[in-house]
Amino acid sequence: MTVPRFGLGTFRLKDDVVRHVVRTALELGYRAIDTAQGYENEAEIGEVVQASGIPRDALFITTKIKPANYRREALLSSLQESVDRLRVDQVDLTLIHWPVPNGEVKPEEYLSALAEAQEQGLTRQIGVSNFNIAGLKQAREILGDTPIATNQVEIHPYLQNRRLVEFARQEGVHLTSYMTLAVGKVVGDEVMQAIARAHGATPAQVALAWAMQQGFSVIPSSTKRENLESNLKAQTLQLTEEDMTRIATLEQGERERIANPESARPVWD
């Protein structure tokens, strides 16, 4: 696996808030940071990363290309701008943020451009985000021998994405889970609380451990230092088979999907 199993998400964090969160996370030991052009916080993250003094090769930085930049020339130039904002020579991973199935720019153009960006050295690895099974199949056909490092998708106890997960396992495509805590819903869940009590853990740690135990990477976020520190400890939490079975019963399907923009989403599996 070439994508770190644990990192920091920065969705909805901007200005001094994202500066504080990234600075705190780095102090606590986080070494993978996930951002996106659409988050509008790359410059602030780059500022903090540069000031941290942490060696570049100790960090893993992911960004995502926003749909407005899917044309070949725009993708290449915008990624160079992202690299400049992040104050690095190249990012470690660049993703296509949303497939936009009915958009003007087709996958053949933006995926080929992404591969070209990798060849030019703007990014070490490339991948996708929010792609369904059909989209992944198409992406692999377009990219050929160029590996897809990950597909970053919404996965949490209430939306377990089982068909996509099974396909990804069969095809050897790594998955990154975002919104693993279901925007905090797991914290108040009785099943998650019971499992947490049995392990002397928190429900958030249980949800993150559940995802990592299935082989997914996770990128939780918080503005509170205590939560950032607590989330890190999920890496050492080992759930039992019974725990995993109990969490499996929480699946609610599509009605629990949180990220679902009408203009960009695919037909979900």
CA dihedral 98, 46, 211, 259 (to 10 degrees): -30
Quick one: DSSP state of residue 78? H
- What are the residue ranges of helices labelled H in the chain? 15-28, 42-52, 72-85, 107-119, 133-143, 162-171, 190-199, 203-213, 225-232, 241-248
39 is catalytic: yes
The Cα 132–Cα 241 span in angstroms is 28
The Cα 176–Cα 181 span in angstroms is 13
Phi and psi angles of residue 124, each rounded to the nearest 5 degrees, phi first: -75, -40
Task: Please report, for residues 62, 69, 154, 170, the alpha-carbon distance to residue 75 in angstroms, rounded to integers and kept in the order given.
Answer: 15, 5, 24, 31
What is the distance, to the nearest Å, from the Cα of residue 5 to the centroid of all Cα atoms in its chain?
10
What contacts 256, CB < 8 A, 6 or more positions away? 156, 158, 159, 182
- Cα–Cα nearest to 228, from 3, 81, 9: 9
The Cα 61–Cα 11 span in angstroms is 14
- Considering the candidates 30, 39, 70, 158, report the single residue annotated as catalytic: 39
- Cα–Cα nearest to 97, from 172, 35, 164: 35
Show which residues are catalytic.
Answer: 39
